[in-house]
Amino acid sequence: MTLDFPVRCCWMKRRQQKRLAAAGSTRHYLHWIGAYNWAQDTVETLCVPHKTSSTFIGFLEYVLLQRLPDRPVVLVLDNASYHHAADVQACLSLFQERVMVVWLPPYSPDLNPIERFWLFLKNEVCANCLYPSLPLLQAAVEQLLQAQNDPFSRRFSLSRDFREPT
């Protein structure tokens, strides 16, 4: 995610055009790697500085060793280059007795359930909103992730405390 926000349709009062601030010329990014847990309706995520094969291996180790250490796992992977890297394939082979990998066909993000969640997250946290800093954006994303994974929370009621008014 960047400090540049996705612009979405919105309602405005007559003669009161909504104005959105510009982020500036330098872009700063936050990257999340995630997996949707269908059985528990939760999302396992890891914030990483860049999406590379080494950070993806770190995510696999986080999910397979810390979050689900003794359970069988089905991974649905798209065709990102870091998914096909030799070191990732070697890592996956270490867990082959309990991990089944399903490769999606090229150019088919609509088949991957996590993509719907990323769209929801961007619409809830980022749409039509400019955060003054990356730590505030990260805090808002983590708040939504915590609400998603908490079965007792009022789901999808992200507070707008982190946002600047638009």
Tell me the per-residue pLDDT of 74-106, one tens digit each, with 9 for 90 and over.
999 999 999 999 999 999 999 999 999 999 999
Which pLDDT value is given to residue 150?
87
The whole-chain average pLDDT of the chain stands at 82
Which pLDDT value is given to residue 18?
67
On the CB side of 119, CA atoms within 13 Å amount to 8
How sure is the predictor about 41, in pLDDT bands with cuts at 50, 70 and 90? confident
Query: Residue 45 class from Cβ within 10 Å (0-12 exposed, 13-18 middle, 19+ buried)?
Result: buried
Task: Record the tokens describing residue 89, joined without a space.
Answer: 């394939």
> Is a pLDDT exceeding 60 seen at residue 148?
yes
Which pLDDT value is given to residue 15?
79
Ranking 24-38, 55-69, 93-107, 145-159 by mean pLDDT, the lowest is 145-159
- Domains for the chain: give ranges and CATH numbers: 31-149 (3.30.420.10)
Task: Record the tokens describing residue 38, joined without a space.
Answer: 């269908």
Task: Record the tokens describing residue 127, joined without a space.
Answer: 């749409």
**Cβ neighbour number for residue 155 with a 10 Å cutoff:** 13
Q: What gap in Å lies between CA 34 and CA 112, rounded to an integer?
A: 11
On the CB side of 77, CA atoms within 13 Å amount to 20
Given CA atoms 45, 46, 51, 52 in this order, what sign does their dihedral have?
A: negative
**3-class DSSP state for residue 49?**
coil
Beta bridge partners of residue 47, listed in sequence order? 32
Q: Which residue blocks in 3-133 are alpha helix, DSSP H? A: 53-61, 86-94, 113-121
Q: What gap in Å lies between CA 129 and CA 143, rounded to an integer?
A: 16
**Pick the residue with more confidence: 116 or 161?**
116
| Long-range contacts at 46-49 (CB < 8 A, ≥ 24 apart) | 47/138, 47/142
> Is a pLDDT exceeding 50 seen at residue 10?
yes
Give me the mean pLDDT over the 144-163 stretch. 64
Give me the mean pLDDT over the 44-72 stretch. 94
Q: What gap in Å lies between CA 76 and CA 139, rounded to an integer?
A: 27
